[in-house]
Structure 1
């Protein structure tokens, strides 16, 4: 195999790969053995016709495409390694020649990572982010714990107020006809939570247990069920019960019941310590992100469109994973918001381009500073991951593919590069 760089314009590269005729003929034979069962040749059982007979009937090049499909995945990686090319997209292949003298000659066009000159990345000035935890934040966190441990208790002879929980039976009708999904029994609805159709909860305020009410609402125009979107409907509602939150006292007994501590003072100290750790991590993350943004801004990079589109793919994949935790998917989100997938992609294009540029700049700095992810670094990262997933390290290692390990190395390398930038930054 011979590889030759023909042309490079920006991030577009053209290379020529030549495979000698003997190697190509070996691939043709492999293609024949792989595909001969597809050909029906008179006088031969299916799959038993000799190669030369099939070539005579269907043409000399009948197996060429299959042979190239066999050869290309073998010779292409060798060629880009030899020419020190780092592709970012699928190659576009043209066959220039197939002959006994020159073998198989392929011209490949592919997009690669752009070359650029790094701007200043040391001595960058950033502001220190305050990570002080106030007493109000501690108080708010404790109040959240109290609310999570609240009990709902029924109240008698009192009308529903905002903040109460109404236990209701309901059935919805559109033009007098009950619609699918519009019925429920003993449903606990927090008034003021805005979990139902706009206007529904407000019409229950002032009603008492045992009362029935006709609720008139209109579904939003962007409602996910197209047959109901924008339609006025009527719900027949019966109030079965009215409940209010009964909050526990914030004292030592609460600390014992709701935590591992015996006193409120110990619980308060633990809450503060956790908030301070969170604040410290958040401030460090903000400073690191700000630093990367400033460093990236100092470098001019022609960001390839292919890399931006790949980044958008990853962003939408992550969004879909997040939606699945809420019982939704990307298609449902599009229906609910009335957007197309193209609009969603365009909305994320600017952020995707920034992320790609930052990644390219950090990789270039890592190369310039000879930052590497050592075996010890990777081992430490695997230890953290095993603790996070509550899995033995050896089992975690066994579950990882080679590409997963390379991804981990890449993440460690980038993190060490940002550490280097932070060490050399001026923090005001």
Structure 2
């Protein structure tokens, strides 16, 4: 087989492949065998029809087409390997010559990753936030915990902001009931501004068994956007009472005996969280600084694919939240053009970042070990509440292993980057990324215990398969490797 490479642009090539016809013989034999099972001729069992009769009744052209379709994926893969190009996406293939018994030739145009070298980055400096925990932050966290253990007691007075009321809502337009706007037994916090406009003002000062009518604009349903007369009926008013901030509360809400011990634990967890945020900031800013030093062409097809992926992801999120894109843009105070520009720029940065991290992995001769892949699968499975072996099987069957390998490899590249740049906080203190990572990892093991060994071992077979796969993943946003699933020592309500 002969392969010529023509560089159409810095990010797209045309492969011209010439194949001796005898290399198609295994594919022709397979084609005859498959067609023989489909042809029904008197005197011949399925699968036993001779090739000459298949040519006569089906046509040699159909056999050739079947053989070529079967051979193309392998031939294209060999051409890519021989050409030593890093292809992206699916190729545009055209058969240029199919001379029966003599020669077969085709061309394939495909996007490629541009060729470049990652420059030295050890002179880069990034500034991250201070990891200082203030007394107010500790009290705010404990206050949130108190909210979870609050009790509701019946009030003998009219409703005020912060009270919880049980209400019925009904709406009319031009004297006609709006059925899809009717709600009964709705528990609502007065002053939360989380329902229709005007409700909080109407509820203020109302007592149990009272009703009031006000004018508002319906926010959903068949009459969305129309003005309606809304009637609210209060069934009960309850006051939220927070538990006293004392040792008894500490014992109720946590494993600690005193409020002082609880405060110390909250401070420790907040400090750990901020250290993780520092590490995440350092990674983001280090990559941004490195990208500024590199100017490379980006393939339009890959950019368009990333834009499409991001738009589809946003549509899914908006649909889940019950929002339209128009409402989202209005809330963000952005025009359609501004939004499209931001999406396009984010897509370009993501694609460029992926290319740079891939190249850095090559230059640093990084690879993904089975244990690393298994650990990643276990971590992802824990986050989504799935058994690691189930997730590993899903990734294998859905063909997502190459993307998984790529993500792990890019994370390792990012670690190399952040470990070699200078990191300082806003106060001027120099930080060491590796030290922070060890501290975070050490606390995770200490607090939660290492009980994932069996699950990780169960994913080893998948890891081996993934490690042998190629990298054809789309660029992905960088993940925050700080342990967001830190186990609090406080109990869930």
TM-score by length of 1: 0.84
Distance 2:225 2:37 in 1: 59
Superposed CA deviations along residues 14-44 of structure 1, whole A, max 9, x for unmatched, are 0022333234355355445546788899999
SS in 2 for 1:89: strand
| Residues 1:139 and 2:139 aligned together | yes
Is the 2:163–2:189 contact (alpha carbons within 8 Å) kept by the matching residues of 1? yes
Give the match for residue 253 of structure 2: 258
For 1:133 and 1:359, locate their aligned partners in 2 and report how far apart those are by CA, in whole Å. Answer: 34
Can you give the 5+ residue segments of structure 2 that lack an aligned partner in the other structure? Answer: 425-493
1:128 Cα shift?
Answer: 4.2
- Choose 124-133 or 371-380, whichever is displaced more: 371-380
* Alignment match of 2:325 (pick from 303, 326, 334): 334
Matched, 1:285 2:280: yes
Aligned residue pairs, count: 419
Map Cα deviations across residues 162-218 of structure 1 (whole Å, 9 max, x no partner).
222221112222333333431121111112222212223322222221111123111
Tell me which residue corresponds to 1:427: 423
After the TM superposition, which residues 281-320 of structure 1 pair with which residues of structure 2 at under 5 Å, given as runs? 281-316=276-311, 319=314
Map of 1:188 onto structure 2: 187
User: What is the CA distance between 1:392 and its match in structure 2?
Assistant: 7.4
Shift in Å at residue 386 of structure 1? Answer: 6.4
Residues 109, 151 of structure 1: CA spacing in aligned structure 2 closer, same or farther, 3 A cutoff?
same
| Equivalent in the alignment of 1:276 | 271
Superposition CA RMSD, Å? 3.6
Residues 310-319 or 246-255, more deviating: 310-319
**Distance 1:273-1:404 versus aligned 2 partners, 3 A rule:** farther
**Matched residues in 2 for 1:214 and 1:405: separation?**
59
The 3 A distance-change label for structure 1 pair 312 and 235 is: same
Q: Report the Cα offset of residue 67 of structure 1.
A: 3.1
* Aligned pair partner of 2:350 in 350, 355, 369: 355
Structure 1 gap ranges (5+): none
SS in 1 for 2:182: strand
- Pick which of 293-302 and 400-409 moved more: 400-409
Judged with a 3 Å threshold, the aligned counterparts in structure 2 of structure 1 residues 59 and 363 are, in CA distance, closer, same or farther, namely same
Q: How much does 1:256 deviate?
A: 0.8
The equivalent residue for 1:201 is 200
- After superposition, the Cα gap between the structure-2 partners of 1:366 and 1:206, relative to the gap in structure 1 and judged at 3 Å, is same
Three-state SS of the structure 1 residue aligned to 2:89 is coil
> For residues 170 and 312 of structure 2, what CA distance do their matches in structure 1 show?
37
TM-score calculated relative to the size of structure 2: 0.74
Change (3 A) 1:43 1:400: closer
Matched residues in 1 for 2:328 and 2:409: separation?
A: 39
CA offsets, 1:331-373, max 9 Å, x none? x543754899999766422112111111211221221222333
CA-CA distance at 1:147 after TM superposition: 1.1
